[in-house]
Amino acid sequence: MNNYELMVIFTPVLSEDDFKASQKKYTAFIKENGGSIVHENPWGLKSLAYPIAKKTTGLYWVMEYSAPSSLNEQLKIQMLRDENILRHMFTALDKYAVEYNARKRSGVSAGNSKTVEA
């Protein structure tokens, strides 16, 4: 099992219910194929750096999960078929990135963990 982070930009014309349904669709797909969800973070509507398909905003969603490496290719095919997705990006996380994300979620300072005593 490897650790991954997935960022997806959905089209901004989706309703809130459709946005949540799309998130559930992909989390269910990962769970059905032997993966597990570590953390989800819907960012909501954000401006794009450049227009994609004549759209200047998009609904962002970031998910951290662990799964076998073969799952990413299946997930990629599903996302390319989905007309509501403008862009997606997979990032493989090493143990330091997983540790960093866990500290950041728990509210601990994500910077240098060493402290200087006076």
Pick from 93, 7, 89: nearest CA to 46: 7
The boundaries of the domain holding residue 37 are 2-95
**Amino acid present at 99:** E
CATH number (domain holding residue 79): 3.30.70.60
Name the percent of the chain lying above pLDDT 70: 92
Tell me if 117 is assigned to some domain: no
The structure's pTM equals 0.83
**Rounded to an integer, what distance in angstroms lies between the CA atom of residue 21 and that of residue 84?**
12
Residue 25 has which token pair? 């669709």
Tell me if 105 is assigned to some domain: no
Tell me if 113 is assigned to some domain: no
- Does the pLDDT at position 114 exceed 60? no
Tell me if 102 is assigned to some domain: no
How many domains are there within the chain? Answer: 1
- pLDDT at position 13 is 93
Digit-coded pLDDT (tens) for 25-55: 999 999 999 999 999 999 999 999 999 999 9
- pLDDT at position 106 is 85
